[in-house]
Chains A and B, each alone.
Chain A
Amino acid sequence: MNRLDYLVLIATILAIPLYGLWRTRGSASLGQYLKGDASIRWATIGLSVLATQAGPITFLSMPGQAYESGIGFIQNYFGQPLALIVVCAVFVPIYQRLKVYTAYQYLGQRFDRKTQLLGAFLFLIQRGIAAGITIYAPAIILSALLGWRLNLTIWLAGGLVIIYTVIGGTKIVSITQRYQMIVILVGMAIAFAVAVYRLSPDLSFENTLSIAGSMGKLEAVNFSVDPHKRYTFWSGLIGGFFLALSYFGADQSQVQRYLAGGSLKESRLGLLFNAVVKVPMQFFILLLGAIVFMFYQFEKPPAYFNQPAYERAMENGYAPQLTELQTQFDEVFAQKRAAIRAVSTASSSERDAAMNNVRKLDAEAHALRDQTKAVLVQAGVDPKSKESDYVFITFILQQMPHGVVGLLIAVILCATMSAMAATLNALGSTTAIDFYRPLIRPNASDHHYVIAAQALTAVWGLIAIGVASFASLVENLIEAGNILGSVFYGSILGLFLTAFFIRRVTGTAVFFAALIAQTLVFVLFATTNIGYLWYNFIGCAAVLILAPILQQTLFRSAEASAGV
């Protein structure tokens, strides 16, 4: 990175919050602080929802995921449009009609205080930790590659987010997310164009895609019903539906985004915008990864993309093994490049044999990278994040022109800041409205609750920074974050679906059903190897089945006294 890159980076990440602070200057009522005001339109809501979901992992890891395993991950988003329609039709009208600040207030109104607190508590635990991971994941990669100090990176990015989120509340989060998302989309479009431009002139674009497809990188849709296949149309549609329904319907970090503005129409349009654009957006990000993969078929990639870890292993006395592997890798790379060129000039009858040769050499290159990783583990520099997370950022730093490098680092930081701002805003609001107001100061003024929400947002920000600062103590923390979400989401969704669709169930029955369901998920998590996406379904189904049973058996008297 040179001065121009730093100029673009600093200008981008500072200008947006400063503009947001200017737009939200002046004091806000509790309603304005927690829900924004009527000036927030569907486009802002739509971009804000998109930015909250995307986060830095999308832009750092997705291209690397496609580089490694192809674009089949796109199918994980197939349940989302259906879930968003259900949220528009069922969840949003109820939240808007009851004029709630948080989703969990609805549980309090429909059931009782303890169920509201349980829903809010489950949300706070998993989002509080997830906020730390949101900032840790990009910070560890950027600090390793750019030589920045890890804790300084975490504190600078996190500190900036805390300051503007505390001051401006929901409105500033929506405004900044809108412009951060525009920067992200423009940055990724430029990255896509540059990556296509940098492809080898030896092959046409169509031929490049053909070869990438033959190497297994472009299978976007797979209708297999084999449960062992990781990404299929069916697992994406069904598993993705439950995950997206929990996330958009019952996670305050999203609920707060689409309740901003206060109009049912604007909320619904913002969500439907997401239902339409999410799949194409993810497709282009994954396709970018496949294009980077093809770029590195002609331009020699590093034997291991996490270069800082690689260099530490070299310094730790493992240079002879790594040099030997590098020599073998260079030979395989040269053979593979020649084999791909041979495919492009082969006749149709020779093409299959030529492609088989490419696939064989690609498998050899893969095996050499695995051996390199094994040496790194032996050397005691086993990296906490996946190697594929370093693919796209390495491509940016080594292949993009100056200025664009700064813009793309800004894209990653904008994604971090926007996701973290939404999370802190939701954590502060939920703690203030679901815990502080009813349990500690029930009859204070609006102004008092605004101050309380600001203070609690700041406290959650500091907790997130604390989690991020100690995150390196936990192995594979990014994956842990995804698992954590799935472990809690099922029970939370079960609470909401029971509230909407099973009218006879009262608070005590659903409260204990959710506790049992959550315990069941914990037990399954500790004792089995079920794929973690299934916890969403199991937790939700357990609440939906247990709540009516408990209602009809143990809590019949509660039903009678509640007049149900």
Chain B
Amino acid sequence: MSARDDNADARSWRKAYGLTLSLFAVEVVLLYLFTLRFS
């Protein structure tokens, strides 16, 4: 694997981590809205 492939791979994993964090943030926001609505 070349250095360019390594960099591209690292970039795509950073995107995957960012997407995971965003989904988690959405989950927390939805739970908070659920709390506001029903508590």
A interface with B by C-beta (< 8 Å): 74, 78, 81-82, 84-85, 88-89, 209-210, 212-214, 216, 218-222, 233, 268, 272, 275-276, 279-280, 283
Contacts and interface: CB of A to CB of B under 8 A. Distances in A.
Where chain B touches its partner, the secondary structure class is: helix
B24 to A, nearest CB: 4
B38 A210 contact: yes
Interface in B19-39: 20-21, 23-24, 27-28, 31-32, 34-35, 37-39
A398 B39 CA distance: 29
- Of A84, A219, A268, chain B has the most CB atoms within 10 Å of the CB of A219
A213 B38 CA distance: 5
A85 B20 contact: yes
A279 B27 contact: yes
B16 interface: yes
B20 A275 contact: yes
A275 B24 contact: yes
Given A89-B13, A272-B16, A219 B39 contact: yes
A393 to B, nearest CB: 26
Contacts of A81: 20-21, 24
Nearest to B34: A220
Contacts of A89: 13, 17
A218 B21 contact: no
A221 B28 contact: yes
A88 B20 CA distance: 12
> Which 6 pairs show the lowest CB-CB distances between chains A and B?
A213-B38, A81-B24, A220-B31, A218-B38, A213-B39, A221-B32
Q: Classify chain B's interface size.
A: 10 to 19
B32 to A, nearest CB: 5
B30 to A, nearest CB: 9
Given A85-B17, A89-B13, A220 B24 contact: no
B35 A221 contact: yes
Given A213-B38, A218-B35, A221-B32, A280 B27 contact: yes
B1 to A, nearest CB: 11
B20 A74 contact: no
A272 B14 CA distance: 12
B16 A74 contact: no
A560 B24 CA distance: 46
User: Which among A74, A220, A272 has the highest number of chain B CB atoms within 10 Å?
Assistant: A220
A74 B31 contact: yes
B13 A268 contact: yes
Contacts of B32: 220-221
A82 B13 CA distance: 14
Contact of A221 (B16, B21, B24, B31): B31
A276 B13 contact: no
A503 B37 CA distance: 50
